[in-house]
Amino acid sequence: MSAPLASLPAADGFRMPGEFARHSGCWMAWPERPDNWREGAGPARRAFAAIAAAIHASDPVTVTVSSAQGRESAQALLPAGIRILDIPSNDCWMRDIGPTFLTGPGGRIRAVDWRFNAWGGEVNGLYAPFDLDDAMAARIAEVEGVERYRAPFVLEGGAIHVDGEGTVFTTAECLLSAGRNPQMTRAEIEQGLKDWLGATTVVWLPRGVHLDETDGHVDNLLHVCAPGTVALTWTEDKGDPQYERSAEALEHLSACRDARGRPLRIVRLPMPGPLHMSAEEAAGIAAGDNGMIRSAGERLAGSYANFYIANTRVVFPLLDERTDAEAAASLAELFPGREIVGVPGREVLLGGGNIHCITQQVPA
């Protein structure tokens, strides 16, 4: 494996493009661990396969597997044409363990390999060990044949959104959490985002979605749909704990300007639920000693903002029959040139995230 570059991406003229820009592919990892995915990960695998198939109709998909049994199940469930590679991981949150791809001079692509510590390390990390996850980005960069940068601080792909024109969106709840980079100030983290993503403006939202175990990843709260346009998780229920979080985000977004000086167009996505884990679902999860706890009745951090923008379609999670159609209509308004495809997302949500969390796009 080649050594990482010693320079800074921004200084080299590289930046992260918006997720709505054209892709050459999408990476996913196969769910296998029984202490996070119920019934030996069987239901999650079927859900991942349906999501992979929906994306593969637009973007070529590669899926990594960690074991012979995982490969066997992936081959049985995934459509023909999806590439399966033996690259081990501790779990399957490809948005967070995979590289962030950048584009630069001459159309070249490079990768940022963030440090990963399972969303908090010894402070509040969700599992250990996580060394295979931390090694995933370098392995993918090698397969893609691109040079990589190794960032000197902890970050997950779900903690950032960009507009491709210099603006980064994140939450203070996440990036300033005690388990990530306690040695860095907010100003130092902001400079790091600029240096490593090629950005000029950082929009700090206060908090993410209520009870999001990633410490409030921004990708569960909002999605950047185009330069100057964001979709925001929203509820009209003032008695719901999410109302205050979404309202403060709306206030902040309404007052800010992006890197080009534009006010933001903010489209509100309905919040599903509230959704909760059933006793049957909780009973199917194996007991573990690594920090993750799943229990009956716990509220799930469900969000329609957790979708994937493919070249010709938007793949979003179906989470609640009462709000699925409204979410689809909002997405159709946001993406008039793309087909809106809903895929059942509850099994992914039970593990702690959704479609955006388990995917990582490669820019064309």
- Scanning 262-363, the segments in alpha helix (DSSP H) are 279-283, 324-334, 346-350
Distance CA 361, CA 9 (A): 18
Reported as a single tens digit per residue, the pLDDT across 231-245 is 999 999 999 999 999
Reported as a single tens digit per residue, the pLDDT across 296-348 is 999 999 999 999 999 999 999 999 999 999 999 999 999 999 999 999 999 99
Amino acid at 301: A
pLDDT on residue 352: 96
357 noted as active-site residue: yes
Q: Which residue has the higher pLDDT, 110 or 2?
A: 110
pLDDT on residue 292: 72
Start-to-end C-alpha separation, the chain: 23
Give helix 68-77 / helix 42-56 axis angle, nearest 10°: 50
pLDDT on residue 1: 80
**DSSP one-letter code for 79:** P
pLDDT on residue 34: 93
Residue 289 banded pLDDT, cuts 50, 70, 90: low
Residue 290 has pLDDT above 70, yes or no: no
- Which residues touch 188 (CB under 8 Å, ≥6 apart)? none
Q: What are the angstrom distances between the C-alpha of 68 and each of 85, 87, 112, 138, 151?
A: 11, 11, 29, 22, 32
The stretch 144-154 carries a mean pLDDT of: 98
Percentage of the chain modeled with pLDDT above 90: 97
Catalytic residue (one of 92, 174, 225, 357): 357
Distance CA 70, CA 341 (A): 27
Are 291 and 126 a contacting pair, CB within 8 Å? yes
pLDDT on residue 184: 98
Q: Which domains does the chain have, with CATH numbers?
A: 9-363 (3.75.10.10)
pLDDT on residue 294: 84
Q: What are the angstrom distances between the C-alpha of 364 and each of 18, 60, 110?
A: 12, 11, 12
- Which residues touch 26 (CB under 8 Å, ≥6 apart)? 55, 56, 59, 60, 61, 62, 308, 310, 359, 360, 361, 362
**DSSP one-letter code for 81:** T
pLDDT on residue 96: 98
* Dihedral, 67, 71, 72, 76 alpha carbons, nearest 10: 150
The stretch 117-143 carries a mean pLDDT of: 97
Structure tokens of 164?
Answer: 């491709």
Structure tokens of 364?
Answer: 């064309």
Distance CA 219, CA 358 (A): 12
H helix and E strand count, the chain: 11, 18
* Dihedral, 37, 344, 218, 169 alpha carbons, nearest 10: 140
Reported as a single tens digit per residue, the pLDDT across 19-75 is 999 999 999 999 999 999 999 999 999 999 999 999 999 999 999 999 999 999 999
Total count of residues recorded for the chain: 364
Structure tokens of 80?
Answer: 């023909």
Mean of per-residue pLDDT scores for the chain:
97
Query: DSSP string covering 19-38, please?
Result: TTS-EEEEEEE----TTTST
Residue 188 has pLDDT above 90, yes or no: yes
- Which residues touch 14 (CB under 8 Å, ≥6 apart)? 102, 103, 104, 108, 110, 198
Residue 291 banded pLDDT, cuts 50, 70, 90: low
* Dihedral, 328, 333, 337, 340 alpha carbons, nearest 10: 0
pTM more than 0.85: yes
The stretch 184-210 carries a mean pLDDT of: 98
Count other C-beta atoms under 10 Å from residue 102's C-beta.
Answer: 26
Structure tokens of 344?
Answer: 């059942």
pLDDT on residue 147: 98
The stretch 74-90 carries a mean pLDDT of: 98
**Helix (H, G, I), strand (E, B), or coil: what is residue 333?**
helix
